[in-house]
Amino acid sequence: MVKKNKTVLDRLLKWIRNHVADSKDADGRPLVSGFPLLLIDDEADHASVDTGEQDFNADGTPDEEHQPKAINSRIRKILHSFARKAYVGYTATPFANIFIHRRNATKDEGPDLFPQSFIINISAPSNYIGPARIFGLRSTDERISGLPLTRQVEDQTDSTGLDGWMPPRHNKAHVPLFNGHDEIPPSLREAISAFVLACAVRIVRGQGRRHSSMLIHVTRFTAVQGEVRRQVEEVVKRFRQCVERGFGRDELLGEWRRLWEEDFVPTSAAVASSMEEAGGEFDLPQWEEIEAVLPEVFGDLSVRAINGSAGDVLDYADREETGLKVIAVGGDKLARGLTLEGLCVSYFVRTTKMYDTLMQMGRWFGYRPGYLDLCRLYTSPDLVEWFGHIADAAEELRQEFDMMAAIKATPENYGMKVQSHPVLMVTSPLKMRSARSLQLSFSGEILETVAFYRDRKNLEKNLIAAERLFEAAGVPSQSGIISRRRGGSTQEWSGFLWEHVPAEHVIDFFMGYLTHPAARKVNSPLLGDFVKAMAANGELTSWTVALIGGGDGASHAFCGKYEIARMIARKAKPGGEHYSIGRLLSPRDEAIDLDEDAWKAALDLTISAWTKDPARRTEDTGKKPPKAPGGPSIRRVRGLGADGVQGAPERGLLLIYPLDPGAADLPPEWAPADWPPVIAFGASFPASRSTTTVKYEVDHLLWETEYAATD
Domain count, the chain: 3
Q: Using alpha carbons only, what angle is made at residue 74 by residues 73 and 76, rounded to the nearest 5 degrees?
A: 65
CB 12 within 8 A of CB 20: no
Percent residues over pLDDT 90 in the chain: 45
Rounded CA-CA distance 482/257 in Å is 56
Percent residues over pLDDT 70 in the chain: 81
Task: Report, as an integer, the average pLDDT of 423-446.
Answer: 55
Q: If 0-12 CB within 10 Å is exposed, 13-18 middle and 19+ buried, where does residue 680 land?
A: buried
Residues 543 and 679 occupy one common structural domain: yes
Does residue 426 surpass a pLDDT of 80?
Answer: no
What pLDDT, on the 0 to 100 scale, is given for residue 252?
95
Compute the Cα dihedral for 348, 431, 128, 148 and give only its sign: positive
What pLDDT, on the 0 to 100 scale, is given for residue 143?
58
Residues 166 and 218 occupy one common structural domain: yes
> What pTM was estimated for this model as a whole?
0.65
Q: Which has more pLDDT, 60 or 453?
A: 453
Task: Report, as an integer, the average pLDDT of 612-628.
Answer: 61
Residues 686 and 614 occupy one common structural domain: yes
Taking the CA of residue 705 as centre, how many other CA atoms within 13 Å lie in the half-sphere pointing to its CB? Answer: 5
Q: Which of 409, 415, 432, 281 is nearest to 354 (CA)?
A: 432
Q: Which has more pLDDT, 22 or 362?
A: 22
pLDDT one-digit tens code per residue, 650-664: 999 999 999 998 888
Domain that holds residue 557: 442-692
Which range (20-24, 280-284, 425-429, 636-640) has the least confidence? Answer: 425-429
Asked whether residue 228 is assigned to any structural domain, the reply reads yes
Band the pLDDT of 620: cuts 50, 70, 90.
very low
Task: Report, as an integer, the average pLDDT of 308-331.
Answer: 78
- Provide the b/e sequence for 530-557 (b: ≥16 CB within 10 Å): bbbbbbeeebbbbbbbbbbbbbebbebe
Residues 482 and 381 occupy one common structural domain: no
What pLDDT, on the 0 to 100 scale, is given for residue 318?
77
Residues 377 and 449 occupy one common structural domain: no
Residues 345 and 457 occupy one common structural domain: no
Task: Report, as an integer, the average pLDDT of 296-309.
Answer: 86
Does residue 119 surpass a pLDDT of 60?
Answer: yes
Residues 189 and 71 occupy one common structural domain: no
What pLDDT, on the 0 to 100 scale, is given for residue 512?
94
Q: Give helix then strand counts, H and E, for the chain.
A: 18, 28
Residue ending a domain, among 96, 111, 126, is 111
pLDDT one-digit tens code per residue, 544-594: 999 999 888 889 999 999 999 999 888 877 656 788 887 788 888 999 999
Does residue 200 surpass a pLDDT of 50?
Answer: yes
Residues 471 and 615 occupy one common structural domain: yes
Q: Please name every residue paired with 563 in a beta bridge, in sequence order, or none if there are none.
A: 557
> What type of residue is 62?
P
Phi, psi of 111 (to 5 degrees): -65, 155
What pLDDT, on the 0 to 100 scale, is given for residue 302?
92
Residues 372 and 506 occupy one common structural domain: no
Q: Which has more pLDDT, 193 or 131?
A: 193
Does residue 125 surpass a pLDDT of 80?
Answer: no
Residues 209 and 107 occupy one common structural domain: no
Residue ending a domain, among 366, 387, 408, is 387
Asked whether residue 702 is assigned to any structural domain, the reply reads no
Q: Which has more pLDDT, 315 or 108?
A: 108
pLDDT one-digit tens code per residue, 11-41: 999 999 999 999 999 888 999 999 999 999 9
Residues 85 and 156 occupy one common structural domain: no
Which range (191-200, 447-456, 617-626) has the least confidence? Answer: 617-626
Q: Spell out where 269-428 has E strands.
A: 301-306, 325-330, 343-348, 366-367, 376-379
Per DSSP, the residues of 431-491 read HHT-TTEEEE--TT-EEE--EE--SHHHHHHHHHHHHHHHHHH-S-SEEEEEEEEETTEEE
What pLDDT, on the 0 to 100 scale, is given for residue 418?
36
* 3-state helix/strand/coil string of 556-580: EEECCCEEECCCECCCCCCCCCCEE
Phi, psi of 349 (to 5 degrees): -130, 20
Band the pLDDT of 55: cuts 50, 70, 90.
low
Which range (61-70, 226-235, 246-255) has the least confidence? Answer: 61-70
Asked whether residue 1 is assigned to any structural domain, the reply reads no
Does residue 427 surpass a pLDDT of 50?
Answer: no
Residues 83 and 154 occupy one common structural domain: no
Does residue 160 surpass a pLDDT of 90?
Answer: no
Band the pLDDT of 382: cuts 50, 70, 90.
confident
Taking the CA of residue 182 as centre, how many other CA atoms within 13 Å lie in the half-sphere pointing to its CB? Answer: 8
Asked whether residue 121 is assigned to any structural domain, the reply reads no
What pLDDT, on the 0 to 100 scale, is given for residue 560?
93
CB 77 within 8 A of CB 29: no
**Long-range contact set of residues 177-184: C-beta below 8 Å, sequence gap at least 24:** 182/231, 183/231, 183/234, 184/228, 184/231, 184/232, 184/235
Rounded CA-CA distance 402/413 in Å is 15
Residue ending a domain, among 111, 136, 158, is 111
Band the pLDDT of 699: cuts 50, 70, 90.
very low
Asked whether residue 51 is assigned to any structural domain, the reply reads yes
Three-class SS state of 111: strand
CA quadruple 95, 98, 101, 107: dihedral, nearest 10: 100
Task: Report, as an integer, the average pLDDT of 153-171.
Answer: 87
Task: Report, as an integer, the average pLDDT of 116-137.
Answer: 79
What pLDDT, on the 0 to 100 scale, is given for residue 435?
35
In the chain, what are the helix, strand and coil shares in percent, each to the nearest 5? Answer: 35, 20, 45
Asked whether residue 408 is assigned to any structural domain, the reply reads no
Task: Report, as an integer, the average pLDDT of 493-514.
Answer: 96
What pLDDT, on the 0 to 100 scale, is given for residue 273?
84
Asked whether residue 131 is assigned to any structural domain, the reply reads no
**Average pLDDT value over all residues in the chain:** 83
Does residue 709 surpass a pLDDT of 50?
Answer: no
Asked whether residue 357 is assigned to any structural domain, the reply reads yes
